[in-house]
């Protein structure tokens, strides 16, 4: 058998030649490999989702096992009775591992539950580390996964906030934060909570944030807030989570003191109703104060461009105007069939009340 070495993205290199392996180089079932040999090989075949920050080229070069033969290889293990192995436990462990490797190769939506670690830059140049749980996905639960625009927005939050100093005083402009001026922030469609939890840790005691989503998403969102309790405690952050369904308008409009100084949303548009629902929700919950802001980031995928345009128009009709905007490129955390990165153009924007700008 060829010696194998794992590389950080879970693909394999041969030890001596750095050449791409074929599935035939792996221990074949007809040779009755030992249980240890099979488990080690299956462990080395583990793939994780790409990092959103990965460039378009790197992972393609490092993919060192030809993916075409792997599905058949894994299926041959699952189909084998593994009768030469000693125990049922060992056989079960090998079948489980082979099934997991197969589902990892069936696209991001087939992947099992996972924890992912995200590094969020701060204005001092240090990074905060957040861990998020992502349950396995079902088609209608898009909030169980972290999406590329929330990764990009959380990484730019420190600079977005610096450019609105009157709204979010940095520690240099407000050395002794006044508790009465604590910023009230709301995240809509928070999903796994990357943006809102990053914001909470970055702002510490100068803000409090309420992370919201649909009822089926909120339990995992709350779980993720709890997972990061150490970071949130260390940064003196105040985070709450709860249901806020954009399609259910509140029976009585919120009082001025219940409205929010800042509303955040990442990747919120994926149905024709969303622009109206989101714009109406923002209009209800955004404070009419001088410094109120909405910070949005979303992918510019062709199929959803009309919805992005629709949202822009609706926010404008409510009297909001863009203070700052830009585009940037991220990479989806899944690949094309040949292992290439999928670049996604994203649009970020900061909005305020036009008559007060
Ligand atoms: C594509 S996901 C983005 C999640 C997260 N912001 C991110 O970028 O990783 C869209 C989110 O909007 C939420 N959403 C969709 N319709 C909603 C509604 N009517 N009310 C509240 N949230 C909604 C979904 O549950 C989901 O979490």
Query: Are 169 and 243 within one domain?
Result: yes
Query: Are 145 and 25 within one domain?
Result: no
Query: Are 220 and 352 within one domain?
Result: yes
Distance 48 CA to ligand 1 centre (A): 23
Q: What is the CATH number of the domain that holds 200?
A: 3.40.50.150
Q: What is the pLDDT of residues 56-87, one digit of tens each?
A: 444 333 356 777 788 899 999 999 999 999 99
Query: Are 77 and 147 within one domain?
Result: no
Distance 230 CA to ligand 1 centre (A): 26
Q: What is the pLDDT of residue 136?
A: 76
* DSSP character string of 120-135: EE-TTS-EEEEEEEEP
Query: Are 41 and 161 within one domain?
Result: no
Query: Are 93 and 123 within one domain?
Result: no
Looking at the CA of residue 143, tell me the nearest atom of ligand 1. 27
Query: Are 98 and 119 within one domain?
Result: no
In the listed set 88, 106, 124, which residue is the last one of a domain according to the structure? 106
Q: Write out the two tokens for 330.
A: 């991220």
Which residue numbers in the chain have pLDDT < 70?
A: 1-19, 48-51, 53-64, 107-112, 137-140, 161, 163-180, 335-339
- Which letter does DSSP use for residue 55 in this model? -
Q: Write out the two tokens for 2.
A: 């060829």
Query: Are 165 and 32 within one domain?
Result: no
**Residue with the nearest Cα to atom 27 of ligand 1?**
143
Do 23 and 72 form a contact (C-beta atoms < 8 A)? yes
Of 52, 135, 143, best ligand 1 pocket probe by most atoms within 8 Å of the beta carbon:
143
Domain count along the chain: 2
Q: What is the pLDDT of residue 161?
A: 67
Q: What is the pLDDT of residue 77?
A: 94
Distance 276 CA to ligand 1 centre (A): 14
Query: Are 74 and 119 within one domain?
Result: no
Print the domain residue range for 96: 4-106
Query: Are 163 and 53 within one domain?
Result: no
Query: Are 159 and 251 within one domain?
Result: yes
In the listed set 75, 106, 137, which residue is the last one of a domain according to the structure? 106
Ligand 1 pocket, Cβ-based, cut-off 6 angstroms:
142-143, 146-147, 149-150, 189-192, 194, 213-214, 217, 245-247, 266-268, 270, 277
Distance 190 CA to ligand 1 centre (A): 6
In the listed set 106, 141, 164, which residue is the last one of a domain according to the structure? 106
Q: What is the pLDDT of residue 142?
A: 82
Q: What is the pLDDT of residue 62?
A: 34
Looking at the CA of residue 281, tell me the nearest atom of ligand 1. 20
Looking at the CA of residue 274, tell me the nearest atom of ligand 1. 16
Q: How far apart are the C-alpha atoms of 301 and 298, rounded to whole Å? A: 9
**Residue with the nearest Cα to atom 13 of ligand 1?**
189
Q: What is the pLDDT of residue 172?
A: 38
Q: What is the pLDDT of residue 17?
A: 47
Q: What is the pLDDT of residue 57?
A: 42
Phi-psi region of 135 (alpha: psi -120 to 50; beta: other; left: phi over 0): beta
């Amino acid at each position: 058998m060829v010696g194998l070495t794992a590389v950080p993205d879970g693909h394999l290199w041969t030890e001596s030649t750095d050449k791409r392996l074929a599935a035939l180089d792996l221990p074949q079932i007809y040779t009755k490999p030992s249980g240890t040999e099979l488990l080690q090989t299956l462990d080395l075949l583990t793939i994780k989702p790409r990092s959103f920050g990965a460039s378009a080229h790197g992972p393609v070069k490092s993919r060192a096992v030809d993916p075409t033969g792997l599905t058949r290889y894994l299926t041959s293990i699952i189909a084998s009775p593994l009768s030469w192995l000693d125990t049922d436990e060992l056989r079960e462990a090998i079948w489980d591992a082979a099934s997991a490797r197969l589902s990892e190769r069936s696209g991001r939506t087939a992947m099992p539950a996972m924890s992912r670690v995200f590094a969020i830059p701060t204005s001092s140049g240090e990074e905060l580390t957040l861990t998020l749980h992502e349950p396995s996905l079902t088609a209608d639960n898009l909030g169980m996964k972290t999406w590329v625009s929330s990764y990009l927005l959380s990484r730019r939050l420190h600079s977005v906030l610096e450019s609105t100093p009157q709204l979010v005083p940095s520690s240099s402009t407000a050395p002794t934060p006044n508790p009465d001026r604590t910023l009230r922030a709301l995240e809509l469609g928070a999903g796994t909570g990357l943006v809102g939890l990053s914001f909470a840790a970055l702002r510490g005691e100068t803000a409090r944030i309420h992370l919201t989503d649909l009822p089926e998403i909120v339990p995992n969102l709350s779980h993720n807030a709890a997972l990061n309790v150490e970071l949130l405690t260390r940064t003196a952050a105040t985070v709450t989570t709860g249901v806020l369904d954009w399609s259910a308008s509140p029976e009585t409009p919120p009082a001025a003191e219940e409205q929010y100084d800042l509303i955040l949303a990442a990747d919120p548009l994926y149905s024709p109703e969303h622009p109206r629902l989101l714009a109406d929700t923002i209009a209800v919950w955004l404070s009419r104060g001088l410094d109120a802001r909405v910070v949005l980031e979303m992918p510019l995928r062709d199929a959803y461009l009309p919805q992005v345009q629709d949202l822009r128009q609706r926010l404008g009709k409510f009297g909001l105007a863009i203070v700052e905007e830009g585009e940037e490129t991220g990479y989806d955390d899944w690949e094309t069939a040949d292992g290439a990165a999928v670049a996604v153009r994203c649009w970020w924007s900061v909005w305020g009340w036009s008559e007060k700008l």
